[in-house]
């Protein structure tokens, strides 16, 4: 048994204050039994920690608080660390040096509880990374995933290929948005005014050790085969064309590519002792593979039927190499395409379907679906939030995510390792902005990863997280102001009654599969869309929207209108125009009004516009035809209102 002064061990505590009971703790513990009385301590409470063998899991702990003091039982140093984080939270509130008497038994629901940091689009300081690790430790998160490479910049020094950091880590423009809109060139490190940066191996080893002391593993990501424009600008011979600024995918038919990847990964694994090495694998265009002689020869030699199988060949081969070093690979769910490598772990981001498919094949999975776990979406009303990629993902929507779905077979659930919060930084330029986007939403994911689902409660979580955010701000963190949250679009909270509500809708153009919303009832269900097109209220089309509503009887009509949104980042645009037509028989339609768009397709902010016709007519059928303004992009409409 060892005696500890709590003040000496808790890495994240500020001044000790009123000792709340365990009802303030985040993530919520597995089991709490309150008892009468309090433990009153002097300058700081002392804690007796005892190690037991075989009774507790590696991150599990038990706390017993009596009037005489605090006792902790664990089986590992990680369990001790998490117990002390819980005690720290209990002592940080109020101004009385007391702890509520209670028994706490706690263990994580999932072994993997991750936070993703995109340092490629905008470089993050080492101090920023350490600061986030401190916060992660407070909330019992245990994996930090570093997105070290992407088109926007390579961020780790590699001895074998020095131009990855002397050239591919730098660009003329400071922001990703300016760089992406321009020629997407890279620059020499010594040029005046260039933006970028990279970590030395010594800095990364320092970070790994810093995280290790908080029981957090650092997982590096080296993107392949795509998102590799920066590599192929520095070493163009690794692309299919052999020319700089021509390719985004490695040439899989070129043996030099595998020599490059193996040397890079060897140096990466010398720095990062993590079990997992993330190899990306997402969004490969594969366009040049179809005509590249080397790639076509590789496909012929290996008996590969298509370019998906060519990517799978690469993933299999890289996995064998990584496995030979005693490590395992993780990839985004696209690595399923063409056949999944035998020991690969899948990080499911395009919904959860890929993860479920991988589980059914016997592979481990980490869930990070964009709808719930992508923190690059705005967390409050877009008109008052800093720039983001778009969409709307408030704290409540993050918190209610449940990783275990009914469709998952019980005998495969052990393959679900956990969850991860992802923040892509295309539009997140500064460290403080990134921090603002993480907290408190990452805290919600931390509780999902640790706490049992029956112990989760949204209202209670909001009660606990508000004072926690105050404490974080006192320690210098930039957090979202949850106490003054504006919330969802007001119309979306109330619904709408009108003459077309509940009436049949005839579709003359197909709905896009990903955005079905409420199916053929969407435009007359009385439900108004919120701040984002992905909320299952907006219906999406990659064509015109052309629908006819049957009012079931001839009625007097004075108004027909629908609201569209525009968010050009993900390719959502206003229609060029909307024609409103009416008919008494469903065959002969009369044009009532054409409503033209006046919002330019270059407007970058999230915009809404109601395309409405004011009329005085009688009709049974109302046709609402919205014309696409561009040959690309989506139209999104939530309701066709008739009055």
Residues marked active site are found at 150, 227, 283
Strand partners, 280: 224
**What are residue 570's phi and psi, to 5 degrees?**
-85, 5
Phi/psi of residue 22, each to 5°? -70, -5
Nearest by Cα to 530 from 378, 373, 350, 400: 378
Cα gap 643→641, rounded to integer Å: 7
Taking Cα atoms as reference points, which of 115, 118, 114 lies closest to residue 424?
118
**164 φ, ψ (degrees, to nearest 5):** -65, -30
CA distances from 443 to 213, 404, 410, 459 (A): 20, 19, 28, 14
- In angstroms, how far is the first alpha carbon of the chain from the final one? 76
The tokens for 399 are 């918190």
92, β-bridge pairs: none
Q: How many CB atoms lie within 10 A of CB 458?
A: 12
Strands 98-106 and 149-150, bridge-based pairing: unpaired
* CB-based contacts of 280, cutoff 8 Å, min separation 6: 149, 221, 222, 223, 224, 226, 227, 331, 332
* Length, in residues, of the chain: 643
Q: Nearest 5°: phi and psi at 246?
A: -110, -25
Sorted by sequence, the CB contacts under 8 Å of residue 459 that are 6+ apart come out as none
Q: What is the 3-state secondary structure (H, E, C) of 471-534?
A: HHHHCCCCCCCHHHCCCCCHHHHHCCCCCCCCCEEEECCCCCHHHCCCHHHHHHCCCCCCCCCC
């Amino acid at each position: 048994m060892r005696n500890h002064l709590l003040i000496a061990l808790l890495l994240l505590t500020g001044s000790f204050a009123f000792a709340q009971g365990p009802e303030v703790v985040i993530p919520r513990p597995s089991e709490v039994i309150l008892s009468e009385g309090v433990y009153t301590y002097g300058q700081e409470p002392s804690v007796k920690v005892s190690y037991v063998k075989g009774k507790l899991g590696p991150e599990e702990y038990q706390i017993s608080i009596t009037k005489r003091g605090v006792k902790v039982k664990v089986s590992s140093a990680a369990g001790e660390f998490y117990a002390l984080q819980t005690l720290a939270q209990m002592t940080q509130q109020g101004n009385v040096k007391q702890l509520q008497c209670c028994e706490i038994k706690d263990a994580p629901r999932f072994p993997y509880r991750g936070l993703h940091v995109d340092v490629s689009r905008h470089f993050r300081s080492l101090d920023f990374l350490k600061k986030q690790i401190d916060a992660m430790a407070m909330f019992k998160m245990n994996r930090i995933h570093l997105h070290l490479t992407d088109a926007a910049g390579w961020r780790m020094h590699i001895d074998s290929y020095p131009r990855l950091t002397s050239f591919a880590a730098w660009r003329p423009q400071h922001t990703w948005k300016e760089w992406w809109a321009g020629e997407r060139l890279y620059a020499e490190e010594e040029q005046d005014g260039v933006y970028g940066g990279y970590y030395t191996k010594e800095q990364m080893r320092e970070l790994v050790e810093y995280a290790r002391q908080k029981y957090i593993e650092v997982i590096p990501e080296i993107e392949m085969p795509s998102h590799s424009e920066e590599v192929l600008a520095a070493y163009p011979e690794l692309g299919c064309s052999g020319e700089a600024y021509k390719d985004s995918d490695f040439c899989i038919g070129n043996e030099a590519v595998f020599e490059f990847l193996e040397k890079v990964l060897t140096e990466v694994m010398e720095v990062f002792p993590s079990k997992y090495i993330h190899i990306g694998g997402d969004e490969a265009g594969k366009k040049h593979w179809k005509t590249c002689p080397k790639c076509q020869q590789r496909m012929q030699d290996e008996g590969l039927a298509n370019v998906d199988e060519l990517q799978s060949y690469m993933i299999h081969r890289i996995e064998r190499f990584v496995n030979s070093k005693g490590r395992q690979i993780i990839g985004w769910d696209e690595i399923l395409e063409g056949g999944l490598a035998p020991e690969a772990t899948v990080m499911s981001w395009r919904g959860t379907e890929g993860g479920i498919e991988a589980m059914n094949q016997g592979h481990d999975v980490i869930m990070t679906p964009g709808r719930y776990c992508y923190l690059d979406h705005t967390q409050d009303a877009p008109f008052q939030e800093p720039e983001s990629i778009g969409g709307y993902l408030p704290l409540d929507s993050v918190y209610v995510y449940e990783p275990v779905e009914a469709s998952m077979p019980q005998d495969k659930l052990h393959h679900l390792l956990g969850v991860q919060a992802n923040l892509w930084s295309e539009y997140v330029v500064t460290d403080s902005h990134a921090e603002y986007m993480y907290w408190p939403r990452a805290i919600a994911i931390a509780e999902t990863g640790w706490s049992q689902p029956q112990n989760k409660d949204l209202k209670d979580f909001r009660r606990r997280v508000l004072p926690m955010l105050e404490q974080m701000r006192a320690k210098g963190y930039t957090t979202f102001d949850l106490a003054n949250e504006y919330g969802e679009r007001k119309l979306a909270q109330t619904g709408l009654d009108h003459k077309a509500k509940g009436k049949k809708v005839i579709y003359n153009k197909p709905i896009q599969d990903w955005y079905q919303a409420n199916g053929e009832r969407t435009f007359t269900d009385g439900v108004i869309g919120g701040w984002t097109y992905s909320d299952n209220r907006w219906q999406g089309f990659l064509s015109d929207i052309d629908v006819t509503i049957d009012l079931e009887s001839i009625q007097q009509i004075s108004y027909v209108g629908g609201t569209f949104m525009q968010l050009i980042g993900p390719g959502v645009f206003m229609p060029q125009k909307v024609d409103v037509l009416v008919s008494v028989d469903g065959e002969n339609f009369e044009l009532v009004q054409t409503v033209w768009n006046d919002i330019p397709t270059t407007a970058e902010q999230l915009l809404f516009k109601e395309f409405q016709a004011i009329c005085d007519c009688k009709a049974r059928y109302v046709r609402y035809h919205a014309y696409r303004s561009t040959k690309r992009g989506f139209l999104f409409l939530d309701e066709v209102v008739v009055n």
